[in-house]
Amino acid sequence: MTWLLIAAGGGLGAMTRYGVVMWMKRKDQPYFIATFLVNSIGSLLMGMALHLGVENTSLSAFFTIGFLGAFTTFSTFAFDVVKLIEERDFRAVLLYPLLTLFAGIILVTLGWQIFA
């Protein structure tokens, strides 16, 4: 049963991420903005979920492992940085990883504190 919950959550998370990517393309935003958004939103939601104590439950399998695991993406983040290096956009090469890291930490903390 747990495998099915993870698969269902993962499918929904991947489709949601794809929707954000398509939305950002329609808004003519740089490609890395969608990755930044999904990772930031995912960090906030992870903090909230962990504070609510969903670890080791069916909800955790569906939401944190499945949905958020597929919605957020480290590999795309890393690829975006490589693309920025190839494009010689050195300002973005410095800012994008730093902002992503700090936003993730701050938003997990905020999500954790929302229900405190």
The predicted pLDDT at position 60 comes to 87
72 annotated ligand-binding residue: yes
In tens, the pLDDT along 76-98 reads 999 999 999 999 999 999 999 99
If one counts the domains in the chain, the total is 1
C-alpha to C-alpha distance for 61 and 110, rounded to whole angstroms? 22
Band of residue 32 on the pLDDT scale cut at 50, 70, 90: very high
Where does residue 55 fall: left (phi above 0), alpha (psi -120 to 50 degrees), or beta otherwise? beta
- Domain housing 36: 2-114
Q: What is the mean pLDDT of residues 30-54?
A: 93
Mean pLDDT on 48-65: 85
* Mean pLDDT for the stretch of residues 90-110: 97
Residue where the block lists tokens 């499945």: 66
Q: Which pTM does this prediction carry?
A: 0.91
Question: For the chain, percent helix, then strand, then coil, each to nearest 5?
Answer: 85, 0, 15
